[in-house]
Amino acid sequence: MSLLVKEENDFKYVDEGKGPVLMLLHGLFGALSNWEGVVNHYSKHFRVVIPMLPIYEMPIKEAGLQGLTDFTERFVALKKLDNMMIMGNSLGGHIAILYTLANPEKVSKLVLTGSSGLFENTMGGSYPRRGSYDYIRERVAYTFYDPTVASKELVDEVFETTRSIPKCMRIVAIAKSAQRNNLALELKNIKVPTLLVWGLNDTITPPMVGHEFNRLIPNSELKFIDKCCHAPMMEHPQKFNELVEDFLVHKN
């Protein structure tokens, strides 16, 4: 199903299903389509909420992790969300960690997949180059083990974004903010059960990063998906959902 985007105040978001709250946080180039398999699966038993992070619209001076974490806190307050399970991919994982550290009473479980916060190879080692469709197609394909997952629609969406100078400025500012923000010393303070789902072939946050998160977060478990890169929920949605469901439903 295509996801219905709602608007309230300055927020755009998806809010599907009823039950315990599962909040999803997307990455730097994250689109709603990234989460369709997750929403379709979980909205039968959970209230799945996705705030659209204002990556391309936020004031340039606020374009960074703190600004995005503040935005997430305002959204949670607006929707009166509590006792949340939070799932974040890539940059969204980084924000999920920062949110959980600042608001531990709001979070019951954490799922991180390809999260930044320790090490990341942003954009495959380079920042967006405006005006080159081939370059963008190559970079988007770099995110997946199977490059055919990088559909023309997905490449077109990223290409249109990177044609805008103001949007590019924000992307670079946020990416640099994430690279500067190393959480190695703070991860021990995460007390909630945490599931790490990593692509065994992740080129952006390699498997060693998943192992390091697992070592540093006390109550965490690490699962790998083979023939999978940086977005397991897109490349292997069924396997991803099985691993996550087992954790969300059965892990205390």
Q: What is the pLDDT along the chain (252 residues), one digit of tens a residue?
A: 578 999 999 899 999 999 999 999 998 877 777 899 999 999 999 999 999 999 988 999 999 999 999 999 999 999 999 999 999 999 999 999 999 999 999 999 999 999 999 987 654 444 545 568 888 888 788 889 998 888 888 888 888 888 888 888 898 899 899 989 999 999 999 999 999 999 999 999 999 999 999 999 999 999 999 999 999 999 999 999 999 999 998 776
Enter the pTM of the model.
Answer: 0.92
Query: Which residue blocks in the chain are alpha helix, DSSP H?
Result: 36-42, 65-79, 91-102, 133-141, 152-162, 165-180, 207-216, 232-235, 237-250
Q: What is the phi-psi region of residue 140: left when phi exceeds 0, alpha when psi lies from -120 to 50, beta otherwise?
A: alpha
In whole angstroms, how large is the CA radius of gyration of the chain?
17
The H or E element that residue 198 is part of is strand 194-199
pLDDT of res. 79:
97
pLDDT of res. 153:
85
CA-to-CA distance for 108 and 84, rounded, in angstroms? 6
Structural domain boundaries in the chain = 6-119+181-250
pLDDT of res. 131:
63
Q: What is the dihedral of CA 62, 12, 14, 191, to 10 degrees?
A: 20
> What CATH number does the domain located at 6-119+181-250 have?
3.40.50.1820
Name the amino acid, one letter, at 143: T
Residue with tokens 């072939």: 201
pLDDT of res. 63:
92
The sheet carrying 84-89 orders its strands as 6-8, 11-16, 47-51, 21-25, 84-89, 107-113, 194-199, 220-225
